[in-house]
Structure 1
Amino acid sequence: MESKIWLSSPHMGGKEQSYVTNAFETNWIAPLGPHVNGFECDIQNYLSQGSHVAALSSGTAAIHLGLILLDVGLGDEVICQSKTFSASANPIAYQGATPIFIDSEKDTWNLCPEQLEIAIKDRMSKGKKPKAIISVHLYGMPYKVDEIHNIAKAYNIPVLEDSAEALGSSYKSIKCGTFGDLSVLSFNGNKIITTSGGGALVSKDIKLKEKAIFLATQARDQAVEYLHSSIGYNYRLSNVLAGIGRGQMEVLDDRVSARRANYNHYKESFKNINELQFIDEPDGYFSNRWLSCMLTPSAEIREGIRTSLESLNIETRPLWKPLHQQPIFKDAPQYLNGVSDNLFEKGLCLPSGSNLTENELNRITSAIKTYFRA
């Protein structure tokens, strides 16, 4: 059998080792150190827009701290995009709050502005104004920023922007990760750049960054002894992993270009297969194409393609199963229009790593073409 083609594997650029070696040579192996500060500055410079960045142990930790900073607590309600990974919603439960799931729209597959406003009005009519909105840039495609944020401002509800999949994406030439009252990044092993495990919380308010760092380092008060007047968390990124991130930031633009090239390769290769559809970028949108996704005619065909590729040692997966379909969230309020259910039924994520070779891309496209010829 030929070698495994992964959905989205880590891709080192070569500079990461020098930063890690420096951490060992200077004995900065402890949780904090100069690479953490340097990594934060690298991200801040990349995002611009007056961003302040706190490097954390995961994107999930960033969402959790974001909710805490937005004062989400027991009994509150938080609106969350349903078409996303469970890590977008799990921290809502950590806080004892209730997720309110909102369906997608067809243009970007992200949070539907129409359903969002319906949900806000309905929750308010029940005496439960949502405390925050979690909106996701799914697979690197920006959500409808203007429409979502105009609604949020109209009802004075803060937006926690989940940009875990969208580093390198932009909307109207402004980088994703800078639109929310607070924003979240992820550097998990499958993301466009990685620190093995890691994430970040982004704010335009340096005091919120400082509060996030305080909470992420066990909320230790300024005192000679270990003094704690708040509940804290062990959420800070290590100096060694931040060193990996510094090397990865040097190749971020190359990684975006490579993933966009993957998408273009698939779209061009399948242009004569009418059964397959791809999501285009609306005007003003720039997607990093973290994962290249296509829609098939049915769940049966989606699974036929997936299992066929699996037999050839090629990894694919269905689009995220909507959170309103997840057993753990079955009782959560939901405002649906059928879009995310349809996307899950028909959608397939194709191998999208920036380290895919031309031979591997040809293996994938040839296998899919063969499936449709059978």
Structure 2
Amino acid sequence: MTDRILMSQAQVSEVEERYVLDALRSGWVAPLGPHVDAFEREVAERVGVDHALALSSGTAALHLALLHLGARPGTKVVLSSMTFAATANAVVYTGAEPVFVDGVADDGNVDPELMLTAVRTLQAEGETVVAAIPVDLFGRAVDYSVLEPGLADLGVPLLEDAAEALGAHVGGRAAGSFGTAAALSFNGNKIMTTSGGGMLLSNDAELVDHARKLSTQSREPVPWYEHTEVGYNYRLSNVLAALGRGQLERLDGMIERRRAIRDRYVDALGDLRVRFPGRDAAGRADDGDNCWLTTMVVDQTVVEERRSGLETTPADKIVDTMSAADIEVRHLWKPMHLQPVFAHCRAFTTGVSEDLFRRGVTLPSGPALTDDQIDRVIDHLTRVLTTAE
């Protein structure tokens, strides 16, 4: 009986244990405390922004930023279609309507020109677009060279969903530093974790101060509990922030291990009619990618079959076969415009994200994986990719 190989299991060392023990022994076990303050400073410094707010999730960070930017019923928010549902959910929390935009074939990240076209189209129709949310997918930052100035010219704030991209960079800037504000996630499977948690980043002090107030139930600064607007219980605890400080201290090493795992996949599988987003035409790694999850896109003709008269996509076949071998492999994000809950929403599509969903999977990528486990993944993938149906 072999142990199941997981996609991205958290790795905790003595470094994190030391930080958490310090928090417990200090007595700061209730929400907030010195580790929260230090964690915010350290992440802000790492990303290169002025302000950071530690929160209970990346979703909370998006929600609070959108509220400050004026998202409400009757407004629109343009966002990447290929993303986890949390991005779109945060928009719906505010009462605003999400409008989805397709990606580019290279890596699935949002198509910058198409996002700008979507904004222009909505504005020409008299709609109020309060924000645009590009998502940095699987640890690879969006190309902001066109998108950031383009949105600024249109008067639409850019809210970067960098939940998957801490430690990545593009154009000499860190993921999380673009636009008006950005959200990070420290969920259990992310590049680093606080068990559950997230952070709002911005150079806008007013935005972060407003979000801080909202995140602590919107209490007014008076001696009693006074509230003039609805608030939320969104702050990160001191104990979890201590865990995050330990993870942040080891972040570069964890990224390097994930990069080494990706290199092994590429070296072993690169000749089997597959491609790895985040690699250039010569197969070299993009050092700006944090390698959170290694994604693999297979040729359309690989491992397709028909079952009970219904087509099984290449991704379906890989996921099913690997699961039977106790190896966790997942589909890429199912585009939001294909999700039943958002079927009524408007979308600007080209078919790219739908095609990537059919043919793309994410592979086990966690830094705790051993070389023997990676060999096992490669062995089973090779069989799947080379066995005729």
Q: Is the 8 A contact 2:113 2:147 kept in 1?
A: no
1:86-111 Cα distance to aligned partner (Å, 9 max, x none)? 00110111111100100001233111
Moved more, 28-37 or 109-118: 109-118
TM-score (normalised: structure 1): 0.96
Matched position secondary structure for 1:184: strand
Cα deviation, residue 280, structure 1:
3.0
Q: Is the 8 A contact 1:108 1:144 kept in 2?
A: no
Moved more, 301-310 or 97-106: 301-310
How do 1:94-109 and structure 2 match up within 5 A?
A: 94-109=93-108
Cα deviation, residue 114, structure 1:
2.4
Q: Is the 8 A contact 2:278 2:286 kept in 1?
A: no
1:271-301 Cα distance to aligned partner (Å, 9 max, x none)? 221x211113569861001110011124533
**Are 2:33 and 1:33 equivalent residues in the alignment?**
yes
Aligned to 2:9: 9
Cα deviation, residue 47, structure 1:
1.2
**Are 2:300 and 1:290 equivalent residues in the alignment?**
no
Q: Is the 8 A contact 1:110 1:137 kept in 2?
A: yes
TM-score (normalised: structure 2): 0.93
Aligned to 1:237: 236
CA distance in 1, matches of 2:94, 2:314: 40
Matched position secondary structure for 1:136: coil
Q: Is the 8 A contact 2:214 2:230 kept in 1?
A: yes
Query: Partner amino acid for 1:235?
Result: Y
CA distance in 1, matches of 2:359, 2:58: 28
Cα deviation, residue 206, structure 1:
2.4
**Are 2:19 and 1:19 equivalent residues in the alignment?**
yes
Aligned to 2:122: 123
Matched position secondary structure for 1:131: strand
Aligned to 1:332: 345
Moved more, 335-344 or 111-120: 111-120
* Counterpart among 361, 367, 371 of residue 348 in structure 1: 361
CA distance in 2, matches of 1:265, 1:206: 43
CA distance in 2, matches of 1:112, 1:160: 15
CA distance in 2, matches of 1:51, 1:343: 36
**Are 2:80 and 1:78 equivalent residues in the alignment?**
no
CA distance in 1, matches of 2:146, 2:40: 30
Aligned to 1:175: 174
Matched position secondary structure for 1:230: coil
Aligned residues: 372
CA distance in 1, matches of 2:347, 2:160: 20
1:304-324 Cα distance to aligned partner (Å, 9 max, x none)? 222221111100110000000
1:27-52 Cα distance to aligned partner (Å, 9 max, x none)? 1111111110011111112112x331
Cα deviation, residue 192, structure 1:
0.5
Query: Partner amino acid for 1:38?
Result: A
Aligned to 2:371: 358
Q: Is the 8 A contact 1:309 1:367 kept in 2?
A: yes
1:34-91 Cα distance to aligned partner (Å, 9 max, x none)? 110011111112112x331000000000000010111111110000100000001101
Query: What RMSD, in angstroms, separates the aligned Cα atoms of the two structures?
Result: 1.4
CA distance in 2, matches of 1:117, 1:214: 32
Cα deviation, residue 154, structure 1:
1.6
How do 1:208-219 and structure 2 match up within 5 A?
A: 208-219=207-218
CA distance in 2, matches of 1:222, 1:163: 32
Aligned to 2:155: 156
Give percent identity, aligned residues only. Answer: 39
CA distance in 2, matches of 1:257, 1:284: 12
**Are 2:382 and 1:369 equivalent residues in the alignment?**
yes
Structure 1 gap ranges (5+): none
Moved more, 277-286 or 263-272: 277-286
